[in-house]
Amino acid sequence: MSNIKNIIEYFDSVLPKTLSEDWDNDGVMVLPDGNADIKKALIALDATSLSIERAKSIGAELIITHHPLVFSPFASLSADDPYGKRVIECIKNNITVLSYHTRLDEVCGGVGDCFAALAGLRNMEKMQPCGRIGVLENEMSYKEFTEHIKRALGLGKISGVNSNGKIKRVAVIGGSGKDFITDAKKAGADTFLTGEVNHSGLIEAKELGLNVVCGTHYATENIILPRIKELLFERFPDIETVIMPFKAEDEYGV
């Protein structure tokens, strides 16, 4: 039997808390029973109401997510509040929630590496703790590259800005990339592949001559879920693990 204490200790060893950004809140989100034995787990990007209902329907005692269920401190806990309602629902149903956020972005084999590999990059290097930069085997046009990324992420459409047309050296960051446009340019990238960039960020990239390709926050980080499942299986193969289904058209999973 796999005890929740052992699971928490294991994930803290393979995904050290020291890798988490200072502003982040990840790790244990909800722990109704510190001695619980876990037989089934659900892996999801977020602990949304839909994810929690799925966990209840399959009898999962554990949800492991990338995004934290609890990011900011609660002044109070109420079922009338969307966040409070989810926390209370987990406690009522004895569902533990663990979230591994920026430490999973940064760690070797984490979001950055998975995203870069999916994009087909070679000779990868770190760009900031959570980003990666590498080169494509063959130069592509902007249209060729966006079609490639749509196929890789299972998307019907994609957004961004075509600033120079040629794509060879690509910087990648899953999720929100608005704060890393200058870093990508300084690292010598001709293209920045990320999940989302706001309006002013796209203008900045255009002025810098940097291509931007946005594959949605959801799709560019949802790719890490199979890796979370692998990590759990490596140490706890007796736990039945289910990955929350990917729906590109339903980015917020609610």
pLDDT tens for each residue of 57-81: 999 999 999 999 998 877 788 999 8
For residue 254, pLDDT over 80 is answered with: no
Rounded CA-CA distance 234/67 in Å is 22
pLDDT band of 147, cuts 50, 70, 90: very high
- In the numeric block, which tokens belong to residue 66? 């990338």
Mean pLDDT of the chain: 94
Percentage of residues in the chain having pLDDT higher than 90:
87
pLDDT in tens, 223-235: 999 999 999 999 9
Q: Per the confidence metrics, is the pTM higher than 0.85?
A: yes
Length of the chain counted residue by residue: 254
Closest CA to 133 of 124, 142, 141: 124
Least confident of 82-91, 191-200, 213-222, 243-252: 243-252
Closest CA to 153 of 118, 120, 177, 112: 118
For the residues 172-198, what does the mean pLDDT come to? 96
pLDDT in tens, 190-224: 999 999 999 999 999 999 999 999 999 999 999 99
Confidence at residue 75, expressed as pLDDT on a 0 to 100 scale:
79
pLDDT in tens, 117-140: 999 999 999 998 899 999 999 999
- Domains, the chain, in order of start with CATH, read 2-102+224-242 (3.40.1390.30), 111-217 (3.40.1390.30)
